[in-house]
Amino acid sequence: MLNRRHLRVKVLQALYSYHISDVKTIAVFEKSLLANVDKVYELYIWVLSLLVETADYTLVDAEERANRYLPTEKDLNVNTKLHRNKFIESLRVNPDFLAAIKKYKVSWNFDPEIVRNVFSALKNAEEYEQYLSEEDDSIGKDKDIIKFIFKKIILKSPAVEQTFDDKFIGWTVDKEVLTALIAKTFKNFSSEDFTDNKLAPLSPAWAEDRQFAIELLTKTVAFDSQWQEMISQKTKNWEAERIALMDTLLMKMAITELTQFSSIPVKVTINEYIEIAKEFSTPKSNSFINGILDKILTDLKAAGRLRKSGRGLVE
C-alpha cells in the first residue's frame, strides 16, 4: 500500500512542478499533490475493473463460439466458470468498488481490445484449463486464478502496460503500490459472505499520511530560502547550474524533515532521500546528497536545530 517513501516522491513531484511554474500559489500544488495521490487509488480500481471485465468476457467468448458457422460440440458447451468466480462475484456486489467505479467513470469500452487480449492470453494458459477442471469452488481457491491473471497476464502484457502508461502519468512509479493494494485485496477477500470482504485502503493511516505530505510540501516551500542558503554554504566549490534541481529539492525536503518533523528519526530521513535520489536523479546524486546532508546535519546538531525527541531519533 501507499507508504511514506511513495508520499515523499509525490511531494518531490509537486515541488518540482512548483519550482518550474510561474504560479506560486501553494494551495494549487497542495490540490495537485492530493489529486496525484488519489490517482494511485483510481489506478487500483481500474485494475480491479479489468479483472471483472475479463471474467465477464467469458460470456462474450461463449456466445461468439456458439454463433460460429459450424460450431463444434466444444464451442456449444464452453465452460464459463470464471464468470461465477467468487472473488469476482464479491467485487460485483462490493459497495465501495461500485461507488469508486462511478466516481472515476471506469469503463473499458474506450479500449475493448484490452479485455479481449487479456482473456485470449488466459484462455491459452494451462493454469486456466486446470482452474476450469477444479471442483473446489471456494473463494480461497477461486482467488488463485485471479492472482494468475493479475501477476502473469495483466502485469506482463505490453498492451496493458501501454494503456496504463498513457492513462496514468505515474504508472511506472505507482505500479509497486498497486501491487501491494491488490495483494491486500486478495488477503481481505477471504469470506464466503461477500459483505465481509473489503477493498484495501490506500493507506492504513491516511489522515496522518495526508498531513505528513501536505506539511512536507508547504514547509519545504516556506523555508526554501533558508535551506537554499544552507546548501549554498556547503556547495561553494560547485557551480550552481551543475547541481541538478532534483538534488536541491531532495536536500531541501530532507532538511525540512530533520528540523520540522520531530517523530521521524534522522537515519530514516537521510536513508530515504538517498534511496529516492538513486531512482529519480543522476547516477552520482546519492553520494553527493549524502555528503552535503552530512555536513548540514553536523551544523544543525551544533546549533540545536534538530527537532527530535525520544531514543533513536537523532542517531
Look at the alpha carbons of 268, 269, 272, 275 in this order and tell me if their dihedral is positive or negative: negative
Whole-angstrom distance, CA of residue 160 vs CA of residue 167: 11
Please name each of the domains of the chain with its CATH number.
4-196 (no CATH), 223-302 (1.10.940.10)
Looking at residue 70, the DSSP 8-state letter turns out to be S
Give 228-256 pLDDT, tens digit per residue. Answer: 999 999 988 776 566 789 999 999 999 99
140 pLDDT above the threshold of 80: yes
Task: Tell me which DSSP letter residue 199 carries.
Answer: P
Give the pLDDT band (50/70/90) at residue 1: confident
Average pLDDT, whole number, for the chain? 93
Looking at residue 240, what is its pLDDT?
59
Read off the C-alpha cell for 103. Answer: 466516481
Percentages helix, strand, coil for the chain (3-state, rounded to 5) are 75, 0, 25
Question: pLDDT of 203-228, one tens digit each?
Answer: 999 999 999 999 999 999 999 999 99
Torsion sign over Cα 50, 56, 58, 63? negative
pLDDT of 141 strictly over 90 = yes
pLDDT of residue 66: 86
Nearest to 118 by CA among 197, 208, 56, 26: 56
